[in-house]
Structure 1
Amino acid sequence: MSLLSDGEVAGPVAAADGRIAGEGAREVERALVVSTESLDLATRIGADRCVALVRDLAPAFKPYQKVDGVPAFLERLRTA
């Protein structure tokens, strides 16, 4: 799963352009919603392999800890 689609800019260039950074934050928020729903479902049905797959997404979210919900999600992944 990629948090940025082809052609989007990440890193310092994106940070320099508020519009791109804002779009990136929205993409992260969408990825966070889907990942949270996936973790909820996998946990509810006892799908340990699926929980592990969602847990593997943690490194992709770490650069976005200032986006609302990301720190709580990362903490939840640590305890999942």
Structure 2
Amino acid sequence: MLKIRLKRLGRKKRASYRIIVIDSKKRRDGKALEEIGFYNPLTKETKLNIESIKSRLQQGAQLTPIVKFLMDKTLNHQ
């Protein structure tokens, strides 16, 4: 099963995240099938490729709760 989830980047206590599509059985920072966004919790910066996310959801991928929250927040601001 495919999941759309966060991949941690950055140094200690200065984390930023990429939003990726990955098999649910792979580790958190494993090789992604596709990178579809970016989230920086320190600056509250969020970039999402909405078309890519929607196409992956139609293929059967599932959002994690954090990514679902970020997506809802981004769609409400547009």
Q: TM-score, normalised by structure 2?
A: 0.32
**Between Structure 1 and Structure 2, which shows a larger proportion of helix residues?**
1
